[in-house]
Chain A
Amino acid sequence: MKKRLAVSLMLCLLLTSCVSTEIIDEVPVVFIAGFDKGSEGKIKGTISLQRFKPNQEVETRTFQAEAHTSKGLRNKLSGVPKPITIGKMAVMLFGEEEAEKGVLRVLDSFLRDPASGRLMYIGVVEGSAGDLITEEFEYLQGIGPFLQILIRQSIEYGNMPQNNLHLFDYKYYGKGMDPYMPLLKKNEDEIIVSGLALFKGEKMVGELDLEEMFMFTLINKNHKAGLFEVALSDGNFATLHKVKSHVDYTIDNGNTSPEVSIKVDIKANIAQYTGDKLDDKIKKMIAKEFEEKIQKDSLKLIKKFQDLQIDPLALGDRARSQTRQFNFSNWEDQYTGLDIKIKPTVGILESGIID
């Protein structure tokens, strides 16, 4: 009996090698992939591979191919050693044209594949994503990790709203909200964040510039943003930093004629002031002018969203959470004509170590 058991246990150990192995030193690892509109409705995919060499060097190579599905691209990438692993993929980029056509045909395979992560950043490139990836920038760590750090830092310390593959998917499927992605651009010999790409469903329909993106980030969620320059009416400038916003949305009569009011409570420090002396009066003035600016700009921003018939602020979802038996079709009929009030309050906390 014991012998038989031992044999069968041995059998188990032998049988475990029945699936294919993937050894990290041998498989090519994709860090970044770009997707553009190809010919005849195909997708043009560009990937940048990193191979870890025995002498601790990292070799980066890029490949391009066209196919109808993003999984089909894998077959077409004939020059690439297989199998390609996407588990480490950190950034996915879309060319502007492909984003306008719809990103879901590419995203579907990444959402379906258990090997792919969902903390991956996705973004839109002004122009072609493929050109951006194949371009030889002088980034030491390679373009994939560089972009990952660029986007992560823009979110953590800058003025970009939180975003990744999961959150895009969340907003794509969620009712009463629309997704967005960072917009990137090649600027001579470097890559910069140029704003925010707005989506309606899976299609890109508009964009925000950096200043609009800052406003959006402030009123969208509680956020700690980076720097912002306020132009004052007396010709001076003040730069605010560590701008912290606390937002509170109240939506009444969600099912009949909705009234939206947004309270934005902002705390900021003054980092720079071009005038002579920064006394309490001036501080109050800066706060007041910043309030007026938020008031004016964010209403303009919301008007823009209403004209595009999109809802990146998730007003519909916030209305749902505050209304019993919420009626989405009524909301959607009324959305473009909604009356929205914004009440910003700005408090200046510190002004550095001098007055």
Chain B
Amino acid sequence: MENNRKKDLLVSSFLVMFIIHSNQVGVGILGFPRYITQYTEQDAWIVVIITGLIFHVFVWMMYVILGDDNEDIIDLHKKWFGSWIGGFLNILFMLYMLLGAVIVLRTSIEVIQAWMFPELQTWIPAIMYLLLTYYVLAGGFRTVVGVSFFGVILPIWLITTAVSPAKFSSFTNLLPVFDHSLKEFAMGIKQMTLSYLGAEILLFAYPFLKNPKKSRIWAHLGIMGTTVIYLIVMVISIAFYSDEQLQQTIWSTLVSWKMVELPFVERFEYIGITFWCFVIFPNLCLYIWAATRIGKKTLHIKQKHFSIVLLFLVFLACVMIATREQIDMLNTVTASIGTYFFYIYVPIIFLYSVIRRRVTR
């Protein structure tokens, strides 16, 4: 194995919970309810749970795919499909990771521009973010994991702010339960998949865990954490907004923060958005870290140098995207790529790995 598993590069197994959870929760949570309710209205919270369960299955599949040999998906691609096809798949993966980084960064900058500083140009926060990302990446995987740990712990108190909109909510909006067709649920699940994307980071982080086989439970707990947070946001959004009103609201979670009353600050959103930077940051670090891993193993470029190239590409892409429509389109594109990845690619390669291991044994 090219991984000689140096002890000081590894992280504790339980941290996989934070890695997966922090990579899943990003900007989507600020506005996802309206995309789901457009199909399933008051039943949207069921969609959140179902999609969460589906992702538990995906996590299980990914663990089977990864096997016992402390290899990541990059090694497996090469081993199973040869260096040409495997390499090609790896490059596709890398582009997907970069797309993930771009979408997270650009959307969060859009939030800052729309809510706090309308005159702020895109490149300024982009540079600040990416420089910081480089600093973290230069520290290696352990630093990246540290960032994702704090990216979960520091902003976790924001959940308590759900109390304020709840005071103005009518929870009868959740009734009647199960009043939509299977097709509508399926459409909702397809939309919801975008918010759960990010669990694929497991395919890259796996060999860095001290005890990969025992980390399973933690990975599932990570997904569960995401489901619970999404469920709270969804239930509050359904109860707080009337249906049509929610469809009008781009960032429903942010608007519901307008209900928070504090003696020292009139607009709580400003505090919320600022803390949101902690949530965005691990996404960025993890995605670009995964992309540099691919660069190292497929193109044999040193991770540190390669990360500069990638960060520059992400920067260019972010500056070029200017309007709400473009950002929305990018989200739709990523949503469909991610959906195909999880619903088609993961099951196929899962079956392949099972069959292949049977045959070679």
Residue ranges of A at the interface with B (Cβ–Cβ < 8 Å): 5, 8-9, 12, 15-16, 18-20, 87-88, 114-115, 117-119, 162, 164, 166-167, 169-175, 177, 317-318, 321-325
Contacts and interface: CB of A to CB of B under 8 A. Distances in A.
Nearest to A254: B176
Interface in B216-248: 241-245, 248
A151 to B, nearest CB: 15
A174 B244 contact: yes
Nearest first, the 3 A-B pairs at minimum CB distance are A174-B242, A173-B245, A173-B244
Interface string B71-85: 000000000000000
A170 B267 contact: no
Interface in B296-338: none
Nearest to B42: A321
A87 B266 CA distance: 7
Contacts of A20: 119
Given A117-B267, A174-B242, A321-B172, A166 B128 contact: no
B57 interface: no
Given A321-B176, A322-B176, A170 B255 contact: no
B127 A12 contact: yes
Contacts of B135: 5
A19 B267 CA distance: 19
A167 B261 CA distance: 16
22 contacts: A8-B131, A12-B131, A15-B127, A16-B124, A19-B117, A19-B119, A87-B266, A114-B114, A118-B258, A119-B259, A169-B245, A172-B245, A173-B242, A173-B245, A174-B242, A174-B244, A175-B243, A177-B242, A317-B242, A321-B172, A321-B175, A322-B176
A20 B128 CA distance: 19
Contacts of A317: 172, 242
B244 A167 contact: no
A318 B135 CA distance: 55
Interface in B104-125: 114-117, 119-121, 124
Interface residues of B, number: 32
A175 B179 contact: no
B33 to A, nearest CB: 15
A114 B243 contact: no
A324 B242 contact: no
Contacts of A323: 176
Nearest to B178: A324
Given A114-B114, A115-B267, A170 B242 contact: yes
A152 to B, nearest CB: 11
A175 B115 CA distance: 29
Given A19-B117, A173-B245, A174-B244, A119 B261 contact: yes
A18 B269 contact: no
Given A8-B131, A170-B241, 19 more contacts: A9-B131, A15-B124, A16-B124, A18-B119, A18-B124, A19-B120, A114-B115, A114-B254, A118-B259, A119-B261, A167-B168, A173-B242, A173-B244, A175-B242, A175-B243, A177-B242, A317-B172, A317-B242, A321-B176
B173 interface: yes
Nearest to B167: A162
Interface string B115-149: 11101110010011001000100000000000000
Interface string B257-277: 011010000110100000000
Contacts of A174: 242-245
Contacts of A170: 241-242, 245
Nearest to A166: B168
Contacts of B115: 114
B120 A18 contact: yes
Interface in B171-193: 172-173, 175-176, 179
A18 B172 CA distance: 47
B176 A114 contact: no
A12 B117 CA distance: 16
A166 B259 contact: yes
A283 to B, nearest CB: 34
Nearest to B121: A18
A186 B290 CA distance: 67
A12 B255 contact: no
A164 B255 CA distance: 14
A19 to B, nearest CB: 4
Contacts of A15: 124, 127-128
A322 B176 CA distance: 6
Given A171-B242, A174-B243, A321-B173, A117 B266 contact: yes
Contacts of A169: 245
Contacts of B241: 170
Given A87-B266, A117-B258, A174-B245, A322 B175 contact: yes
A117 B117 CA distance: 17
Nearest to B255: A118
A257 B358 CA distance: 64
Contacts of A16: 124
A323 B176 CA distance: 7
A322 to B, nearest CB: 7
Nearest to B177: A324
Nearest to A116: B258
A192 B258 CA distance: 28
A259 B120 CA distance: 56
Contacts of B131: 8-9, 12
A118 B268 CA distance: 12
A105 to B, nearest CB: 16
Given A321-B176, A325-B179, A87 B267 contact: yes
A317 B172 CA distance: 9
A266 B258 CA distance: 33
Nearest to A221: B170
A317 B116 CA distance: 36
Contact of A324 (B119, B121, B176): B176
B251 to A, nearest CB: 9
Nearest to B164: A119
A166 B82 CA distance: 59
Contacts of B244: 173-175
